[in-house]
Chains A and B, each alone.
Chain A
Amino acid sequence: MSSSTTNKIDSNTPLLDRSDERVNHDSSIGDVVRSFVDRVKSGDLGSLPVVVGLIIIWSIFTAINPVFLSANNLVNLLFDSATVGIIALGIVCVLMLGEIDLSVGSLSGVGSALLGVLWVKQGLALPLAMALSLSFGACVGMAYAYLRTRFGMPSFVATLAGLLALLGFQLFLLGSTGSINLPYSSSLVDFGQLLIMPAWLSHSLALLPGIVFVFRGVQIRNKRMAMRLSAKSLNSILVKAVLMTVALEMIVMYLNQSRGVPWMFGLFLLLVIALNYALTRTKWGRYMFAVGGNVEAARRVGIKVERIYMSAFILCSTLATLGGMLAAARLASASQQAGTGDVNLNAIAAAVIGGTSLFGGRGSAWSALLGIIVIMSIANGLTLLNLSSAHRYMITGAVLAVAVIIDSLARQSRQSHGKA
């Protein structure tokens, strides 16, 4: 391409990425819709199943009990989502590598027990107790990564062993009393139960994504045009930003009719956004995808694969501990029941339902958010219907099975469409 050497932009020469006439490019809205349908047909589902699933679940529960969609109930839903959601965020990291951590539930229990022992029983300062608990979690992740990379122990087995060991450690920590109550007046319990963003703040924060979207969009557009690449039209950027802002403002307004947006959910969102940035815009994130897609290829180009495993497992375990401590704050106690039962599977199910593949190399931080809202909606809705946890477990199990089936089918479809 001789024109690439000249600086003059000639409107007749095709853009760098539009010179191949075999490729269809979406220019009109109809093209965009058509390419979306094609993508879905070929198994590139993205977050479509979650959104559809969420609509179905919400319509059913609202039809049975209108309280479900009340602002007050949704605020409760957000409180509940934050704790397990943070654990699911860690699960996204290990799933991205095609690994798994089955011990996040037990580890979150140990996190809360350690917090109770160090803070309430030993009288350490709260930040110190939390830091110690988090570093214990990081050490557990380091151990899993070491077992995986040094001894080639499948993470499935290593973390299954960890599940039992950590459960034992939790019982040992809590001793004969079985539970430690966290002081009600403390800032941590306030954070877990009560703290809500002021309305003005939540409304201003809801404006932020739209502004950042337009700013980044225009910045990228200018840069791409200067380098003779195709760029999104200004209109599409603005339309998307306006739609996003209107939707967010409406959600915030609705939640503010009741108590408002919990700070704990705000923390969860912040972590999701941070992980999303790390996964999509940094070298580390690119390496996570590469290792999940083809370990040998990653090794050959000089990626330090062991470090990537290490970072993912440490991140997962640390987030699990954090989730455990916040769960303790939500209940104002660290008990033997913390982290047992469905916490483990809820966290894993959330990541998978949200669209992170169990097979590695495919997923996003947003899947933790979407998935946990689905899982918690089911739990919350069934509780409103006065169904016991027996029913809840069965239904959540079925939803997880459906999610994995969709993941597998989509994978097969991608393979047959040459997009595996």
Chain B
Amino acid sequence: MSANKNNHAETATPLLSLQSVCKQFGAVSALTNIDLDVYPGEVVALVGDNGAGKSTLIKTIAGAHKPTSGQIFFEGKPVNMEGPSDAIDLGIATVFQDLALCENLDVVSNLFLGQEKGPFALDETEMEVRSWTLLNELAARIPSVRDVVASLSGGQRQTVAIARSLLANPKIIMLDEPTAALGVAQTAEVLNLIDRVKAKGLGVILISHNMQDVRAVADRVVVLRLGKNNGVFTPDSSNEELIGAITGASDNSVTRREQRIKSASSACEV
């Protein structure tokens, strides 16, 4: 793990870096001293139980929440985001779980929604060409960009949503449970897509409850528990380790006793 990090440190500064970020809602500390680094061309998986603070963290990075304390750095520079549009301007794109596509519009219209070419005479040809090039780059299998989104499968819709977030040339993309509610083949398609986004040199933050998917694409797995960092793992760490960190099952009287004995014996040896 540390070798991996050193490797990055030689080549680049982190795209996004959170340093002891806290977020409080009244008396509740949703996030406490969160540290997180995302490097270009790296997939960081964010895992944790319900209520672990994943969504709060995503919203903080997306500019929807302002951190109570701590600092966010983007490309090495400290940034203060006042709203989601600031995050988008910096190059942070977010694909939310519900995708937010307009089912009555075709793929081109959805991809360019909010950033159409030519306000008083839409340049449909230009938009269609760019849609095809973008989708081909992602090797996405959309039969026709002139089909309405309602006629697409779940995986194809996810592809459209991810492609849309890439249209503004972001540097980092956050995916909130992109494989939830997808079949086996569609899940594989989305994972391929994440690989391709990574290959383009973007940083990816992936939220997922599915350890299999996380292992398949992630370079690092960051575990959140009760709003705190609860360890950073490599994707090849064992299931027990990961699940232990997520649920806190490793933090009980049995493990504490084992640790105590271990440390006592090592102290004796010295």
Q: Contact residues of A with B, CB < 8 Å?
A: 1, 4, 16-17, 19-20, 22-23, 220, 223-224, 227-229, 281-284, 286, 289-290, 292-294, 296-298, 300-303, 361-362, 414, 417-420
Contacts and interface: CB of A to CB of B under 8 A. Distances in A.
A223 B125 contact: yes
Contacts of B142: 20
Contact of B104 (A16, A292, A303): A292
A75 B145 CA distance: 44
16 contacts: A1-B136, A4-B136, A17-B145, A220-B125, A229-B132, A283-B120, A286-B109, A293-B105, A294-B100, A294-B101, A294-B102, A298-B102, A301-B113, A301-B114, A302-B85, A418-B150
Interface in B148-187: 148, 150-151
A23 B126 CA distance: 22
Given A293-B104, A293-B105, A419-B151, A302 B125 contact: no
Contact of A297 (B113, B116, B120, B136): B113
Nearest to A223: B125
Nearest to B99: A297
B103 interface: yes
Contacts of B141: 20
B144 A17 contact: yes
B268 interface: no
Give me the 9 closest cross-chain CB pairs, A-B, nearest first: A301-B114, A293-B104, A297-B100, A293-B102, A361-B104, A16-B132, A283-B119, A23-B143, A1-B136
Which of B104, B115, B120 has the most chain A CB atoms closer than 10 A to its own CB? B104
Nearest to A225: B125
A19 B140 CA distance: 12
A121 to B, nearest CB: 41
Interface string B5-22: 000000000000000000
A46 to B, nearest CB: 14
Contact of B151 (A228, A283, A418): A418
A283 B132 contact: no
Interface string B120-150: 1110011011001100100001111110101
A224 B127 CA distance: 11
B73 interface: no
Contacts of B103: 293-294, 420
A361 B109 CA distance: 13
B182 to A, nearest CB: 16
B96 interface: yes
B129 A289 contact: no
Q: Is the interface of B mostly helix, strand, loop or mixed?
A: loop
Nearest to B145: A17
A237 to B, nearest CB: 15
A296 B99 CA distance: 10
Contacts of A16: 129, 132-133, 136
Contacts of A297: 99-102, 113
Contacts of B151: 417-419
B217 to A, nearest CB: 24
Interface string B67-102: 000000000000000000100100000001011111
Contact of B143 (A20, A301, A362): A20
Contacts of B144: 17, 20, 23
Nearest to B146: A17
Contacts of A300: 96, 100
B105 A289 contact: yes
Contacts of A420: 103-104, 150
A289 B104 contact: yes
B143 A22 contact: yes
A293 B142 CA distance: 21
A420 B121 CA distance: 27
B125 A227 contact: yes
Nearest to B133: A4
A286 B113 contact: yes
Given A16-B129, A420-B150, A286 B104 contact: no
A229 B105 contact: no
Given A223-B125, A281-B120, A284-B119, 9 more contacts: A227-B126, A283-B119, A290-B102, A290-B113, A293-B102, A301-B100, A301-B114, A301-B115, A361-B104
